[in-house]
Amino acid sequence: MSVNPRRLRVAALALAAVSTASVTACTAGSGGGGAAGPTDTLTVNTSFVLKTLDPGRVYEATGVTTTHALYDTLLTFKGSDVSKPVPELAESYEASPDAKTFTFKLREGVKFSDGTPLTADDVVFSLNRLKNVKASPAVMVTDLTASKTDDRTVVVTSAKANPNVPVVLAMSATGVVNSKVAKANGATDGADAASADTAQQFFDKTSAGSGPYVLKSYDPSSQVVLEANPNYWGGKPKFNRVVLRNMDVQTQKLTMSRSTAAEVSLDISGKLLDGLPDSLQTSGVQDTVYYLILNADPAVSKVTSDAKFRQALRSAIDYQGVAALFGKGAGPGAGLVAPAFPGTLTGEESKRDVAQAKQLLTDAGLSNPTVKFTYPAITYRGVDLGTVATKVQGDAAEAGITLELNPQPLTTFLDQMRGGKMPMGFTPQSLNYPVADSLVNNMAPGAGSALRAGWTVERAAPSVVAAGEKVVSTLDPAQRAEAMKDWQREMNAHGPYIVIANNSGMNVATSDLTGVEYTPAGWQLDLAAIGTR
């Protein structure tokens, strides 16, 4: 064929050239970084876990970070110190000796972002709405009832003795909303709020709080924009505008590596911290525990329900090696309370003893036991849980235990775990609020999570039950922390959980910023506290 393709080739090359040129032309002027625009903008990059900004329903991490800046709470935590809440809307409070009645005196002169004064009615409405909407955060206030004695005094009563009420009232979900505005947009604090309250869509478009920022725009898959509240009663935040951007964690790392000013990332942790420029600052606290769950119900697994097997597996694990997989900011497991919180088992990290593991198996009469090991096939805080599971599998094999790895999608894993039929599982855990007592309510024998592991009171050692009861009945915070330590030691000796590692949440920020401390309080970063050097 006498086809001369010269022109065609030229045309094809020209097309390719045009395409490449368009890429270059389109990008040449950007100057990189993508942080064009006003200089008083703070950019926060995070992989969104966000469903709503309604304080009565907020539970997911990004939502909590955001609502903390939109809504004030009676009390709060400053910086990374979560040992004791400090006043915010309440200038002072008193607790009754039986830890059932808490009286809060409201600060004078506080206004919502629309200029309306904040009163005790708004506080009572917000707390009762949170309770009655019955969304995920409602469990924190199930036993609480709020009422007012005058416009500046709120009384919160607890059905049970609970010295942690002030801590609960520092959480973002207890943020105070403008009750008149909220009611006008479908909110209710009535007993039927779970079905009658229709204000979520309103709160996802508009904020009605007294916090340092107001909501400018909300897109749960792209970005949330906040602007400084002109009527804020406290000090004006440094940045007039905050943009929270949804960003994949790998992209966050690349972005921060090039960023020079006013930018923070919330998800770069563990191994991902390797290779970041020295100019960036990091702040983190070990606030997450990773633990194995071994079902105590013989009907589910004769192997995992054997206490000696559980101790054998506990002895087989190389805790230092597991912690190394998590990278910077991680440590070997000790107890169920992470190092960030009062009551943690400092200096009592678990240790490996393969010979002891083998002896325990022999004592139990178990030869080459095999267990199906289920875990969520996800990467959490920069760590692939499959890698950790494989390490545990290898450690167990050295003691003669065969673990059959069974990775599952997260929802399937959660469903199986909560169904109580999983012989062995693996999951990370963070606290809903920065007091570890909730673990006792959830993981002690016969409690919700424990029952899903087949751990009834009847199957538990009496000493574990007694240790848990002691925690709940101790009202003094310092003594309660000590009781928590005893409870964890008992849990380690008899319980169905094996804590294998602790890991840190981490904020990575440009060097020009101040106040970017990581807080284990739940909101990770106090946006209004961020300043510049």
- Tell which positions 204-233 bind other proteins, by CB under 8 A: 204, 216-217, 219-223, 225
* The one among 179, 200, 288, 519 contacting other proteins by CB under 8 A: 200
* The one among 80, 101, 116, 136 contacting other proteins by CB under 8 A: 136
Is the CB of 450 or the CB of 529 nearer to other proteins? 450
Q: How is residue 21 written in tokens?
A: 């040129």
Binding characters for other proteins, 251-270, by CB under 8 A (x = yes): x--xx-xx------------
Is the CB of 135 or the CB of 460 nearer to other proteins? 135
What is the gyration radius of the CA atoms in the chain, in angstroms? 26
- Report in angstroms how near the CB of residue 296 gets to other proteins at its nearest: 18
Is the CB of 36 or the CB of 355 nearer to other proteins? 36
- Report in angstroms how near the CB of residue 442 gets to other proteins at its nearest: 6
Is residue 466 part of the contact set for other proteins (CB under 8 A)? no
Instruction: Give the contacts of 274 (CB within 8 A, at least 6 positions apart).
Output: 327, 328
Four-residue CA torsion sign, 234, 240, 243, 249: negative
Is residue 188 part of the contact set for other proteins (CB under 8 A)? no
Helix and strand numbers, DSSP H then E, in the chain: 17, 21
Provide φ and ψ at 391, rounded to 5°: -65, -45
Measured between alpha carbons, how far apart are the two ends of the chain, in Å?
Answer: 73
283 beta partners: 507
Is the CB of 4 or the CB of 368 nearer to other proteins? 4
Q: How many residues bind other proteins (CB under 8 A)?
A: 82
- In 276-423, at which residue ranges do the beta strands (DSSP E only) sit? 281-294, 331-332, 370-376, 379-380, 383-384, 402-408
Binding characters for other proteins, 408-447, by CB under 8 A (x = yes): -xxxx-xxx-x-------------x-----x---x----x
Q: How is residue 449 written in tokens?
A: 């999570």
Q: Which of 264, 292, 281 is nearest to 422 (CA)?
A: 292
Q: Would you say how long the chain is, in residues?
A: 533
Q: Segment contacting other proteins (CB under 8 A): 49-57, 152-160, 348-356, 365-373?
A: 49-57
- Tell which positions 5-34 bind other proteins, by CB under 8 A: 5, 7-9, 11-12, 15-16, 19, 22-24, 26-34
Question: In whole angstroms, what is the distance from residue 504 CA to residue 285 CA?
Answer: 5
Is the CB of 224 or the CB of 366 nearer to other proteins? 224
Is residue 196 part of the contact set for other proteins (CB under 8 A)? no
- Report in angstroms how near the CB of residue 102 gets to other proteins at its nearest: 21
Q: How is residue 149 written in tokens?
A: 């004695």
Binding characters for other proteins, 140-179, by CB under 8 A (x = yes): --x-------------------------------------
Question: In whole angstroms, what is the distance from residue 440 CA to residue 121 CA?
Answer: 33
Provide φ and ψ at 310, rounded to 5°: -60, -40
